[in-house]
């Protein structure tokens, strides 16, 4: 078995999967690794929804714009103060976690648990793809998964045995993301140097050519994540979070 460093350095997103299901005992081991992740106050303000029914996968994939349709499993990790508040009520305590602080804390907890799941899955010979679209259709995903008030989906993974071995995506060099002691802002030359690996990556160069843009930054700002879409999605997400009871920030 590969060690953790080898697993993480060889990671690649898998989008095509074999029809082979994930063995229950293997899934349990992976999920157990998820629950061993560090978290705020050892409170585990998250829940993990495992979707393996074919009809539910089809419906969930549709809400992720068709992604993961061939995967035998979806894993949705959610901020969950509902469970903690239930325990608080049973113990005669108040319910103080319905606010932005715990939305953020739960998001961190859920993300750490999800990353443990990812590393464990790859160690078991599985592949996965992180679906950022969980934040695009949050309300509809919550409805499909029957999430109660106080539960907000924040991470979705499609997972299974790989049916492909794609090339690794590019990553920025360490000097592009690591700051020693304090944050050091970038010069124009440093920005150009840091992003050269991304701009010269063959796939990205082809995307610039196909879309007839001047550069890769325009792919992101004009096509993939334009401002008008960001604002609309942000508002929908904020509306859902408020409806989920996670924005009670008044004393």
Alpha helix (H) ranges present in 10-164?
Answer: 24-35, 54-63, 82-90, 100-123, 138-144
Give the whole-angstrom CA distance, residue 145 versus residue 233.
20
Instruction: List the domain boundaries for the chain.
Output: 4-167
State the fold for domain 4-167.
NADH Oxidase (3.40.109)
Strand, coil or helix: what is 19? coil
Predicted confidence pLDDT, tens digits, the chain (251 residues):
578 899 999 999 999 999 999 999 999 999 999 999 999 999 999 999 999 999 999 999 999 999 999 999 999 999 999 999 999 999 999 999 999 999 999 999 999 999 999 999 999 999 999 999 999 999 999 999 999 999 999 999 999 999 999 999 999 999 999 999 999 999 999 999 999 999 999 999 999 999 999 999 999 999 999 999 999 999 999 999 999 999 999 87
pTM, rounded to two decimals: 0.95
Give the whole-angstrom CA distance, residue 74 versus residue 53.
10
Residue 103: Cβ within 10 Å count: 21
Strand, coil or helix: what is 35? helix
Q: Are 102 and 81 in contact (CB under 8 A)?
A: yes
Strand, coil or helix: what is 65? coil
């Amino acid at each position: 078995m590969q060690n953790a460093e080898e697993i993480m350095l060889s990671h690649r997103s898998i989008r095509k999967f074999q029809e082979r299901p994930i063995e229950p005992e293997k899934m349990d081991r992976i999920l157990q690794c998820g629950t061993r992740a560090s978290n705020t106050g050892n409170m585990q303000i998250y829940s993990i929804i495992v979707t393996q029914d074919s009809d539910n996968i089809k419906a969930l994939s549709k809400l992720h714009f068709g992604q993961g349709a061939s995967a035998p499993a979806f894993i949705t990790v959610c901020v969950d103060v509902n469970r903690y508040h239930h325990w608080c009520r049973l113990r005669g305590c108040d319910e103080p976690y319905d606010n932005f602080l715990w939305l953020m804390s739960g998001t961190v907890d859920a993300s750490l648990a999800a990353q443990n799941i990812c590393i464990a899955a790859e160690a078991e010979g599985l592949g996965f793809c992180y679906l950022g679209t969980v934040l695009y259709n949050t309300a509809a995903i919550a409805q499909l998964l029957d999430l109660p008030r106080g539960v907000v989906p924040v991470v979705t993974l499609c997972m299974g045995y790989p049916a492909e071995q794609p090339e690794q995506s590019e990553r920025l060099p360490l000097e592009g993301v690591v700051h020693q002691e304090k944050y050091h802002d970038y010069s124009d030359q440093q920005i150009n140097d840091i992003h050269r690996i991304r701009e010269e990556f063959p796939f990205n160069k082809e995307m610039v050519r196909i879309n007839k843009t001047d550069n890769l930054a325009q792919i992101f700002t004009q096509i993939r994540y334009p401002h008008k879409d960001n604002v609309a999605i942000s508002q929908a997400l904020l509306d859902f979070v408020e409806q989920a009871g996670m924005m009670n920030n008044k004393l």
